[in-house]
Structure 1
Amino acid sequence: MKKLILILTLVLFGTSSMNINAQDLIQGNPSATVTDVVDKELKSLTQELALTGKQQKLAKIKLTEFKMREKELLNSDMIISEKSEQISALEINKVKEMRDILTGPQYDTYIKWIKEKRKINQKKVQNN
């Protein structure tokens, strides 16, 4: 139940502002590919969570899958509110699936990392 509340909190606080990696894909860095964005996020996760080699491989597969879906959504013809809902659902699934890859302590750190990343991104959006 606690985990579900954490996930819902993350969605409520984070979905209104897309993460910086998604922004790289659609605006700030037009040459950024899904692979570039995934590699950047994986590097951060590896440093933050001390991922094993096996975890890195599994995480790369999942992150690539989610970034590709996210890019498709961002480039779709849906209205913004619909995109936001879809991306929120995608983020929830991403967090749930990362739980299967990470150990308990790593997952707890991952949740804290996501919250911090959201705060930083919200500040950037507010300043723009």
Structure 2
Amino acid sequence: MAKTYFTEDHEWLRVEGGIATVGITDYAQEQLGDLVFVELPEIGKKLSKGDTAVVVESVKAASDVYAPVDGEITDANASLSSDPSLVNSAATGDGWLWKMRLANEGQLEGLLDEAGYKAHIG
């Protein structure tokens, strides 16, 4: 069964079988406003925790989305190239950004659960 984690930088990741699906939270997409462009990562790219993985641009600003853990990109949500608003309408569903193979599952221990994230955004 998949388990969902959150970062203080407003990313979520759903982990199942050593693969994490990553996106931004509803709170983050509300703060950004309507997304007009998503720069997706290259499949096969290795990321370290904290590296910029994706750039999202809204009518307000461009923002970096960071890798929440170390790993390698295995997939990117190509649907966002033609319809970046999926992130606004379904941030934790069809609006996912990328998938990555985890390099160190121990890093998940430093992330927030849903209750911790809700407390963080207050």
Q: After TM superposition, is the score higher than 0.5?
A: no
Query: Comparing both structures, which one devotes a greater share of its residues to helix?
Result: 1
Larger radius of gyration: 1
Normalising by the smaller structure, the TM-score range is 0.3 to 0.5
Query: Comparing both structures, which one devotes a greater share of its residues to strand?
Result: 2
**RCO comparison, higher one (Cα < 8 Å, 6+):** 1
For normalisation by structure 1, the TM-score amounts to: 0.35
